[in-house]
Amino acid sequence: MSNPVLVSVLGATGSVGASALDVIANQSPGAPAFEVVALSANTNVAGLAAAAKASRAEIAVIADDSLYGALKDLLAGTGVVAAAGDAALAEAASRPANVVVAGIVGIAGLQTTLAAVRQGANLALANKESMVCAGALLRAEATRSGARFLPIDSEHNAIFQVLDRPERVEKLILTASGGPFRNVSVGEMALATPEQACAHPNWMMGAKISVDSATMMNKGLELIEAAYLFDVPEPRIEVLVHPQSIIHSLVAYDDGSVLAQLGLPDMRTPISYALSWPSRMPLPGRERLDLAKIGRLDFLPPDPQRFPALRLARTAVSEGGGAPIVLNGANEVAVAAFLQRRIGFLTIAEVAEQVLEEFLGNPTARHEPASFDEVYEIDRWARSRAIEKLRLAA
């Protein structure tokens, strides 16, 4: 019998975390035997304890250390170790594992992404914000440790699956559903509620990425993530609106061939690919893609007027330096304010643009951050400027 695959799932109570745990629980013939090392959550102590018990994890870590007692009580007698706080989270992420699922949302995931990379793990990367903010530094760490990035964002996973000759790539084509406001006027978007913004037509996801999909900042962040992950410059990364979310992305080669990966919109497919890489594992009992039933696949260019976030991401990644960190930090603050109903939907991109412009006026803006401390410093600056601008906008 082969050794079990050791997996940690960071952000286990989230949408990606739940899909990963579902794949791990798959006991069908042909699937590897998985053993869960560490699970983490931020504040959802009941969800974390339930997931840790069900998966028989070694350790469960709650980031909010005021919840340590509650987690310990819930796990009493189960054999799962309870831990809390940032240091415990980093320790759990650096425990030996074959694959670490990076499913924490926002730059809050960077600390654990880095810990797992330093440990030399295969990183099943959903937490795009860590790659956006520290792509070059993380890649350098991975070169030192031997860690690999196995993207599970469906677009990057699609590219990863069909990218067999990187030196012959002409362009990457990221597909985008267009989100819930694809056909909505700017006037209607101005009045959009968090519920409307989170009602994604094709994917069930956490609140932050759902709002990012509605503004198309998600596609912007993905574009930056793709530039770092695949080492392809921004002008050679296209975005194509494809409302059915069946083609998850494409790679165009210099012989005119365009390779795509297709599938139903279900995160378990890219997650299973990363968990079983370089092999594949069966996911039985799931609906299969039936193109005759779908009938047609549509494509259209993104609308830069209604979705300025994409332009901001292009500016940020082509200017380089701290600009992607600033765009991400300002966006995180603005999305949180929108979800708390403190600002309107259109203000999200407006604030991100104002903070990015202010940053790019700084003579040191284009210097590449030399350390993770610098990344956090730039992120703190962006957040404080966004908070200030939101105060003015309120």
Interaction site with ligand NDP (CB under 6 A): 11-17, 41-44, 63, 103-105, 108, 126-129, 153, 203, 205-209, 267
- How many whole angstroms separate alpha carbon 4 and alpha carbon 14? 24
CB of 257 to ligand NDP, least distance (A): 27
Q: Which C-beta is closer to ligand NDP: that of 89 or that of 355?
A: 89
CB of 241 to ligand NDP, least distance (A): 17
Q: Which C-beta is closer to ligand NDP: that of 50 or that of 360?
A: 50
Task: Take residue 38 and report the two structure tokens written for it.
Answer: 């560490």
Q: Which C-beta is closer to ligand NDP: that of 86 or that of 368?
A: 86
**Residue 14 phi, psi dihedral angles, 5° rounding:** -90, -175
Q: Which C-beta is closer to ligand NDP: that of 124 or that of 142?
A: 124
Which residue in the block uniquely carries the two structure tokens 């404080």?
384
CB of 165 to ligand NDP, least distance (A): 26
Q: Which C-beta is closer to ligand NDP: that of 179 or that of 206?
A: 206
Q: Which C-beta is closer to ligand NDP: that of 57 or that of 354?
A: 57
Angle at which helices 268-276 and 154-162 cross, to 10°:
50
CB of 206 to ligand NDP, least distance (A): 3
CB of 361 to ligand NDP, least distance (A): 29
C-alpha 214 chain-centroid distance: 15
Q: Which C-beta is closer to ligand NDP: that of 210 or that of 347?
A: 210
CA angle 313, 319, 320 (to 5 degrees): 90
Burial pattern 86-115, b for ≥16 Cβ within 10 A else e, equals: eebbbbbbbbebbbbbbbbbbbbbbbbbbb
Task: Take residue 242 and report the two structure tokens written for it.
Answer: 């494809």
**Residue 255 phi, psi dihedral angles, 5° rounding:** -100, 10
Cβ atoms within 10 Å of 168's Cβ, excluding its own:
13
Q: Which C-beta is closer to ligand NDP: that of 16 or that of 97?
A: 16
CB of 363 to ligand NDP, least distance (A): 32
**Do residues 310 and 302 make contact, with C-beta atoms less than 8 angstroms apart?**
yes
**Do residues 335 and 328 make contact, with C-beta atoms less than 8 angstroms apart?**
no
CB of 162 to ligand NDP, least distance (A): 18
C-alpha 154 chain-centroid distance: 10
- DSSP type of residue 99: E
C-beta nearest to ligand NDP: residue: 14
Q: Which C-beta is closer to ligand NDP: that of 117 or that of 354?
A: 117
Amino acid at 18: A
Half-sphere exposure of 19 (CA within 13 A, CB side): 26
- How many whole angstroms separate alpha carbon 311 and alpha carbon 217? 9
Parallel, antiparallel or unpaired: strands 237-241 and 5-10: unpaired
CB of 70 to ligand NDP, least distance (A): 12
CB of 130 to ligand NDP, least distance (A): 8
Q: Which C-beta is closer to ligand NDP: that of 49 or that of 126?
A: 126
- How many whole angstroms separate alpha carbon 246 and alpha carbon 298? 10
CB of 377 to ligand NDP, least distance (A): 18
- How many whole angstroms separate alpha carbon 267 and alpha carbon 154? 7
How far does the chain reach from its first CA to its final CA, in angstroms? Answer: 62
Three-state DSSP at 23 gives helix
